[in-house]
Structure 1
Amino acid sequence: MNVNHPTTRPLGRRCVLGMLGAVAAAGLMPARRAQAKGAATSALDFDGEALVVVGTRVQRFDPSGDATRLPAPRTPIRALACHPDRPGQLFAALDGGGLDRSEDGGRTWSAASGGLPQAQITALAIAAGAPDSVYAAIAGDGLWRSEDAGTRWSFVMDRPWIAEAEREILTLASVNLASGMGGIWIYAGTDQGVTRVPDCFCRWQDVVAGDAMDALVAGTSPAPEAPLPEGEPVKSLVSANSAPERLYAALPSGLWASTDGGVAWENRSSLHAQALAVDPADPDHIAATSATKLKHSRDGGATWATLAAL
């Protein structure tokens, strides 16, 4: 998979994308809505020890699986990010565009999309090691960042260029690895696999073995020995806050795990998950939505138990 941008780009690309962003977002939404019809959930994340599951409604599940149903959002929620170090702080991407923030675990919400295009947000991530930084992927546009917890936003990176086309970002994860500029990498799951960019936002690249920054400068991409399956969409990608090199990915072929920052992957189970979350305090504790059930694993995805019906 070659994710390096070509040296020659179409003139006025961002201008064209600005005009077509709403069309691109609309192109994504009918399929997503049809897929989600009859289902109440689209995303989940750990808020401390509780699990927040969102979609057409917001529910909080305690560790025993008991649920508290919270006030319904003003529109269905498409993506969710809970702050690993600030229990109660949540960011939710709304269906059709816009971003809301909650400071009380999803009980009340306020707008947090100042400066963002009015287009669909496809993925969210809170920056590892930078408590006020949040990333949002915009359909038809690229990656945006807020450095003040959602008050103001700025464009930082084009969409990744993979297999001769720009690809939508379906899921995001921020990973604190020593090989990044300042230690931080932003990983993106697309319909063509996983790519990443350091927080200097210089270039998307394949996840490579060895010195990733040297490979980025040189433009080389040594192939990993155990990559993710080619051509499968990455429906959900999550990193473990307490173990930065641990990643989990939900693909049509099942749940995959990496213990070296995404260089090598292992298929852990055949679970067909729509969304994943990792306990910020325990990298072996994963939660997933699968069909109409909320499941969790205490052994890194090898075995699963149903926590609650959705």
Structure 2
Amino acid sequence: MLSGAVRAGDGAADIRTLAFDGDTLLAADATLMISPDGGRNWEERPTPAPVASLATHPARPGRILAGLARGRVAMSGDGGTTWTTRSDGLASGEVTALAVAAGNPDMIYAAIRGDGLWKSEDAGATWALAMDRPWLDAAELDPLTLASVDLETGMGGIWIYAGTEKGLTRVPDCFCRWQDFQPGDAMDALAAGDAPPAEASLPTDEPVLSLASALTAPSTLYAALPSGVWASQDGGVIWTHKAKGQGRAVAVHPRDENHVAAILDGTLKLSRDGGATWIALAVA
């Protein structure tokens, strides 16, 4: 049953992850909450276990991928009504992050806590290790969030972005090396090994908890950090602070890079102008 919104922020405090499935907004923690009308009304859908991460793709409407806090990846093909496990060959452990390749809806990436970055080329039926976890600040770190970004500067046009406890990093789809953010293409970055520009970068002293890439404008990215919501218009080199507050999750509509949802200070907020203004909604 759809439930009416009651108070701004109700039910949002525990939400760990957000996603859009077309016009439908998804929010998950112990269960999955679905809003087909932009956050005004919500329907609860049980999941096999508490959800740590979500992923969707506009080429597969109704298909929801859930990384489970107790391990495994679950998939629903009917908008969250029924679920199957898609974890053959996948390492055990919490699935901290999921992403679907921007140009290939059956290519899925998963980060496993304490392990590495895994990939499936058959919509999650089988999995193989893609590469080790990012090495940042003299330590190997778990990706807390992943995003597939279709940029010409990547190898074959694809980058995999990862948010960690120590900031943001990315790897081209050759899976050759995690790289800092700087202008130019992947080969330039590999050859130069330069540090990213210090000005207008994301903070490196706080975790990047959530990333969202706009499919309609691949160079546009949003990130949720404890300091709020940040946005980049150039593929992650330069960032601007769009909203202050305790950020936890962020998602962007697949057909409108200015339509953004975020959890800020335990409240679900929506923006229709790329983060310039926000309205609070209830999750009831």
Taking structure 1 as the reference length, the TM-score comes to 0.84
Partner of 1:271: 245
Partner of 2:19: 45
Partner of 2:66: 92
In the alignment, structure 1 residue 131 sits paired with structure 2 residue 82: no
- Distance in 2 between residues matched to 1:120 and 1:128, nearest whole Å: 23
Corresponding pairs, count:
274
Q: 1:39: Cα distance to partner?
A: 4.7
Is the Cα contact below 8 Å between 1:234 and 1:251 reproduced in 2? yes
Is the Cα contact below 8 Å between 2:119 and 2:130 reproduced in 1? yes
Partner of 2:164: 190
SS in 1 for 2:247: coil
Is the Cα contact below 8 Å between 1:295 and 1:304 reproduced in 2? yes
In the alignment, structure 1 residue 141 sits paired with structure 2 residue 115: yes
Is the Cα contact below 8 Å between 2:63 and 2:77 reproduced in 1? yes
SS in 2 for 1:245: coil
Equivalent residue letter for 1:73:
T
Q: 1:292: Cα distance to partner?
A: 4.4
Q: 1:53: Cα distance to partner?
A: 1.1
Q: 1:265: Cα distance to partner?
A: 0.6
Equivalent residue letter for 1:117:
A
SS in 1 for 2:71: coil
SS in 1 for 2:16: strand
Gaps of 5+ in 2: 1-11
- Distance in 2 between residues matched to 1:108 and 1:244, nearest whole Å: 31
Counterparts of 1:258-297 in structure 2 under 5 Å?
258-297=232-271
* Higher relative helix content: 1
Q: RMSD value over aligned CA atoms?
A: 1.8
- Distance in 1 between residues matched to 2:64 and 2:161, nearest whole Å: 20
User: Residues 11-70 of structure 1, C-alpha deviation per residue, up to 9 Å, x if partnerless?
Assistant: xxxxxxxxxxxxxxxxxxxxxxxxxxx954221100000101111122111234343424
Partner of 1:151: 125
Tell me: CA distance 1:274–1:70, structure 2 relative to 1, closer, same or farther (3 Å). same
Tell me: CA distance 1:146–1:268, structure 2 relative to 1, closer, same or farther (3 Å). same
In the alignment, structure 1 residue 208 sits paired with structure 2 residue 182: yes
Is the Cα contact below 8 Å between 1:242 and 1:280 reproduced in 2? yes
Partner of 1:4: none
User: Residues 67-109 of structure 1, C-alpha deviation per residue, up to 9 Å, x if partnerless?
Assistant: 3424311311111111222110110011211110010111111
In the alignment, structure 1 residue 117 sits paired with structure 2 residue 94: no
Partner of 1:301: 275
- Distance in 2 between residues matched to 1:293 and 1:259, nearest whole Å: 25
Is the Cα contact below 8 Å between 2:222 and 2:231 reproduced in 1? yes
User: Residues 188-237 of structure 1, C-alpha deviation per residue, up to 9 Å, x if partnerless?
Assistant: 00011100000000000101113342121343335253211221111111
Equivalent residue letter for 1:217:
A
User: Residues 278-303 of structure 1, C-alpha deviation per residue, up to 9 Å, x if partnerless?
Assistant: 00000000001234432100111121
Is the Cα contact below 8 Å between 2:32 and 2:80 reproduced in 1? yes
- Distance in 1 between residues matched to 2:43 and 2:36, nearest whole Å: 12
Gaps of 5+ in 1: 1-37
- Distance in 2 between residues matched to 1:58 and 1:212, nearest whole Å: 37
Partner of 2:28: 54
Is the Cα contact below 8 Å between 1:208 and 1:224 reproduced in 2? no
Partner of 1:172: 146
Partner of 2:37: 63
* Higher relative strand content: 2
- Distance in 2 between residues matched to 1:88 and 1:67, nearest whole Å: 18
Partner of 1:81: 55
SS in 2 for 1:216: helix
Partner of 2:5: none
Tell me: CA distance 1:219–1:291, structure 2 relative to 1, closer, same or farther (3 Å). closer
In the alignment, structure 1 residue 228 sits paired with structure 2 residue 202: yes
- Distance in 1 between residues matched to 2:265 and 2:243, nearest whole Å: 16
Equivalent residue letter for 1:294:
L
- Distance in 2 between residues matched to 1:233 and 1:292, nearest whole Å: 17
User: Residues 232-283 of structure 1, C-alpha deviation per residue, up to 9 Å, x if partnerless?
Assistant: 1111111101100001111122211100000101111213221110000000
Partner of 2:7: none
